[in-house]
Amino acid sequence: MSTEPAFVIVTGMSGAGRSTAAKALEDLGWFVIDNLPPGLLFAMAEEAGKVKLAADKVAAVVDVRSLAFTTDLNAAIEELEGRGVRVRVVFLEASDEELVRRFENVRRPHPLQAEGRLVDGITRERGILREVRANADLVIDTSSHNVHDLRNKIVAYFGGEDRPGLRLNVVSFGFKYGLPVDADLVVDCRFLPNPHWVPELRPMNGLEAPVRDYVLGQPGAKEFLDAYEEVLRVVATGYAREGKSYATLAVGCTGGKHRSVAMAEQVAARLRDRGMEVQVSHRDVGRE
């Protein structure tokens, strides 16, 4: 792993969990400043160096309330990297429906809605943040996460910064519920026969042995896993070379209950056998 100084910027949609992420980092021993204007990022990094804080455990949470947010943030990142600081941007987001629900629950207006509706503020913020999200090193969709889920994800990503290598999250999902928006790579397992149409397997999910054995015993299942493992070996090597520390691999089927779950578990097991650090989650199990 690179020994150059690292600096994490946590940003994203209002209501998506920035404060929860900041608290999780603090619990891990990070030095975190919340709601820092982008223009002060370099000053913070410089001050952290003066007091000899751990170079790879400094983070700032920044939000979009500045009208020049994108320009200011890009300039701050360029200044940091120009001084030899390795910057990593973590972007938190959630669906419009979930953000509306969260703001309504706390009875607070969106910081950008002004005299308009709550959804107007959310739409305006998405537009401002579009470029930042596109360039982020890690995107986390918190739509289906409670505070404990998000904290666990932050711990999984940042709890072992001293360990080398790429950390991977393999997530199964159902296409009928939409793609995971934080996925770096997506594969489709709908080419395999669906256990949903086998009466005795329908109530089960891909974590149970009868479904797993049925899915893995189908023509093409092993060939797919062999080929995808090789693809991931090449991709992981490239990610590491480019300095990417985290990646999310999404494995989908129709409902996210049978095929994708069994195959995601197999993908994760093969990656672990290669010595990679992997966590697995099943987004849509139990959703039906």
User: What is the rounded distance in angstroms from the CA atom of residue 133 to the CA atom of residue 141?
Assistant: 11
Amino acid at 86: R
Around 265, how many Cα atoms within 13 Å sit in the side-chain half-sphere?
A: 17
On whether 108 is known to bind a ligand per the annotation, the reply is no
β-strand partners of 288? none
Task: Give the residue ranges of DSSP H helices in 136-220.
Answer: 147-158, 209-216
On whether 87 is known to bind a ligand per the annotation, the reply is no
On whether 12 is known to bind a ligand per the annotation, the reply is yes
On whether 149 is known to bind a ligand per the annotation, the reply is no
On whether 231 is known to bind a ligand per the annotation, the reply is no
On whether 238 is known to bind a ligand per the annotation, the reply is no
Q: At what angle do helices 221-241 and 259-273 cross, to 10 degrees?
A: 50
Residues in the chain: 288
Pair 141, 182: CB distance under 8 Å: yes
On whether 172 is known to bind a ligand per the annotation, the reply is no
On whether 159 is known to bind a ligand per the annotation, the reply is no
On whether 1 is known to bind a ligand per the annotation, the reply is no
User: What is the rounded distance in angstroms from the CA atom of residue 251 to the CA atom of residue 246?
Assistant: 17
User: What is the rounded distance in angstroms from the CA atom of residue 9 to the CA atom of residue 89?
Assistant: 5
On whether 84 is known to bind a ligand per the annotation, the reply is no
User: What is the rounded distance in angstroms from the CA atom of residue 260 to the CA atom of residue 170?
Assistant: 10
3-state secondary structure 140-163: EECCCCCHHHHHHHHHHHHCCCCC
User: What is the rounded distance in angstroms from the CA atom of residue 151 to the CA atom of residue 22?
Assistant: 9
The annotated binding site is made up of: 12-19, 63-66
Which residues contribute to the annotated binding site for GTP?
Answer: 63-66
Mark the binding-site residues for ATP, compressed into ranges: 12-19
